[in-house]
Every structure is written in structure tokens, then in C-alpha cells.
Structure 1
Amino acid sequence: MRKNTIAALLLGATFAFIVYACKKDGAPQQKDTEPVPQDVIAKIKALGFSSSGVRAAEGGWLVEGDILLTAENLSEASTSANLRIAETEQYRTNNLVKSLPRQITVKVMDLGPAFVSGADLAIARYNAQNLQLTFRRITSGKADITIKGFYQGPSGGFITLGSAGFPTRNGSPYSTISMNTHEQAYGANPNVDYVGSVIQHEMGHCIGFRHTDYMNRAFSCGASGAGNEGASNVGAVHIPGTPTGPDAASWMLACSNGGNRTFNANDIVALNYLY
């Protein structure tokens, strides 16, 4: 996710009134100075994503301000016949987590107590839904999803807050959630409910959810975040039973209100349909 630092200054600084845009690195720190090869730009355009502002990141390329495309994504052909660019609804990627019922382990690596408590909060919220997909935090060994930090200040009026990617073709969840430890990201004393809401959102991407407003990020991000993220080869498959009108409280909106946000009724429909 990212925070509009210019807005923060103008509004005198309380989190409750700052708009944040969700930014998915999928892997740790972005490498802003690394040039983007023209063949990568061509592939991104061919997939239907905007090539404006593409940045190199560990594990792939950041597009649309918040989506990590890996080398596999750039070369993988879509297999879904149910892609659509449509209204504001719940959408998933082509790839989902397989081998259900399944427990996914989560480990928080070298982050402070607010991030540990935030991860526990996000895990509890998912497990309360009694899905075939459950989560458990571990403290040692290899986890299915590792939450780790990166340190990056503001750039272009925004600061990255968190990042994640999409499931693999073999049905595994995306393996990394990155959280920014810069003091301008969450402040000196991060709010656990807010950190947990960001982690909850990133976990949604790890198991195959796209943004509710992927077709027009301006719905939750304002004019500065306008744009269609594209169905592309990662897929934008409508989840039956979810609304065709704006759903302002969804946990998978591209931008949050900077506060505590969890599943609304339509999110629960979507979770139960998939898992």
C-alpha cells in the first residue's frame, strides 16, 4: 500500500483523513533506479496494463502502482474464458490456492510487535470465516507466507506501505508480504488494527483476490489513482454472487481510508465461494 504524503501535510496529519493506495511489491525493496527493458515494457502493454510508471522490484516489475508482475506472469498465457472488464465486483486471478482443505503457515520475520500482532489479527479474521483455507502463524522453520520488512521513504508524493503478489500456477499462495518500516509509513507507534488490515488485504492477494475496483482505481483512490489495472494473463474473473455496483467497504479496494477495515458481507460471499 502507499500513502499520499502531500495530502498528509495538507490535512495536518491524522491517519483518519489520509488516503492510502495499496501497493503490491510481492518482494522486498523496490529498485527505483533500475531501468525497465523495452521488451518488458512491450510485454506489459500486451497484457493490457499501463506502462506508465513501471518500476523494477525484487521478484519482478511493479505496474499500475500496486501490482507485482513476475517473469512467470509476463510469459504465462491466460487459460480462463471468463475474463471481463466490467463493473465494481469481486474478482479473482486465474490461479488460486489448491489442495483444499489446507492450512497456510505465516511467519513474521524481524519486525516489531505491532506487525506480529497485526499478523495475528489478520489470521484470526480469516480463520473466523471457517473456510477450507486456514492460516497459522509459526515462529521457526519455513513458512508458506513470510512477512518481512523493507525500509523506503516517500517518492513522488507517496510512500509504499505494503506489498504482495498472486498465487503460482501450481496452486501455492504467493510467498512474501513486505511491510515498510520507514517512520513515515506507519509512524513511531503503528496502530495494530491498521497494520492488521493492511496485512489482511495483502493476504487476499496471496490467495488470489484482485482489487474490487481493479477496473477503475479512482473509485477508492481518487483522481490520482485512476486507471484500469487490466484483466491481463493473471486474470480478472468475476466471483458469482458479488455486487455489480460500488462496494465502498470491501477489504480488497485498491485504496483504504487509512483505518481499520475488515471483510464486509460481500467479501464473505466471495471468500466462501472460492474457499
Structure 2
Amino acid sequence: MFFKTIDFSKFSSIRVGQPTEVLMLERGDKIPNDRVIIGHANNLLLSPTPPPLMMLSKDFSFIELDDGLLTIGCATPTGKIVSFAKKHNITGFEFISKLPGSLGGMIAMNAGVKSYEIFNIIDSIKIDGVWIPKDNIEHGYRFAELGGVATEVRFRVEKGFDKSLLEELKDLRSNQPKTPSAGSAFKNPKGDYAGRLIEAVRLKGVSQGAMQWSEIHSNFLVNNGGGVFEDAKYLIDLAKGRVFEEFEIELEEEVQIL
């Protein structure tokens, strides 16, 4: 293991944060229990006083195909996974094309698009050095109780990469802002949409400093340049308060705030 200083104002997808020392884990390392594991910071909002952080190093960025099983390291970028699946005609990974970041970040929140979720295609996950079957891990909509640090994931291989589905899912991106963001700020409440609720309480396009509820998709909190944590947190809290006041619905953050 080694320490690396990461500037989260450049590294995180929302471009908010400061240079922070992060412990990088390598193969064979004993995993500390006093640090918070992060992925590639695509749904992360870092405060000025984050807890001690750790991240998987490039040791955990790999894809191995053997005897009908696909083993992928949790530091592997999602784009690399989709390219591998396409090259080897493996189905089930098409929806990942819409989800930036690392595999570890995806499984930590059971990331997905529409009816597609990463846990739908998982066989087992290596957590704190032990392989655990998917069915023994509590998971649901944008939620997974890993109970430790995941380093590798196994998938059963099914042939038949669906190029038409890939293009269909890519088209869904057309309603997402290109401005830096952390993706969806809130999980969709049951039977409703967070974006609809934010728009209904008249917050679409509302700004605080350089942070703004997007004009393109209301559930995206975007950084128009030089945005800071305090302004992002203000808008998140404002949305939660307004939505509860008008609809008695408690919005739950999808973005991880540390």
C-alpha cells in the first residue's frame, strides 16, 4: 500500500473537493478497517473534512475469462468492461456503457439503468478476501450491503452481445447534462421520480454560487466552474426540504457525501 495525494476538484466527476491524501491498496495488503473505500469518484461529493480514505490501486484493474466465468477486478473502468464484452460477444454488460466509473463503485450502490442492475448479472463477490455468493449479500434499488471491501467480482458468461441494446441505452444519455456532475443526486422515490419532484418545487435551474440544479435534467446537480462543497450541500438540503414540505416525501441521496 502507498499514499497518493488526489485533487478531487479535478478527479471527481462533479469537480468539487481539494487535494486529499488517499491510501492506495495493492494486492496482498491487509485491508484497514479505519478508512472509507471510494471508487473513481463519479457519484462522490467530498467535504472539506472527509474521513480517512482508501482506494484500490491498478492492481485491481483486470479482466480474466476462464471456463465460463468472468472475473473482474473492482478498480476496472466500466468502459473497459463493455469493450471486453463486445470483443468476446458476452451479453449482460450493455447497460454499463451508460455508467462511468469503476466496477467497485457500481456494485457498492448496485448501479443500473432502468430495469438493468449490476447485481442481476453477478455470480459472487470477493469481500475482504472471501468469495461470497450474490444471494448472501443484501441488495436492492441503488443499495448493496457489502459489509467490507470488495476487490473482485465473478460473472457467469452468456454469449450474444446486443449491439442494438447498447445503442438504445446510449440514447438515454441525451437528456443528461454534459456539465460536470455526480450523476443523479437523489434516488427515485417509489412510484415517482426525483427529477419531477425537484422541478415541481421550482428548483430546476436554481443556482447557489457555481452549483446549479440542471436545466436539462432536474436531478443532476452540476458544477458550472469552481463550485464548492458548501453550495452543493445547500442545494441538496434545499431540495430535500422543499420536497418534504410540499409532498411529505423524504428524498434520499444517491450521491455519496463524505
TM-score range, shorter chain: under 0.3
Highest CA radius of gyration, 1 or 2? 2
TM-score normalised according to structure 1 size:
0.25
TM-score normalised according to structure 2 size:
0.26
Question: Which protein, 1 or 2, shows the higher relative CO under an 8 Å CA cutoff with sep ≥ 6?
Answer: 1
Report the structure, 1 or 2, having the larger strand content.
2
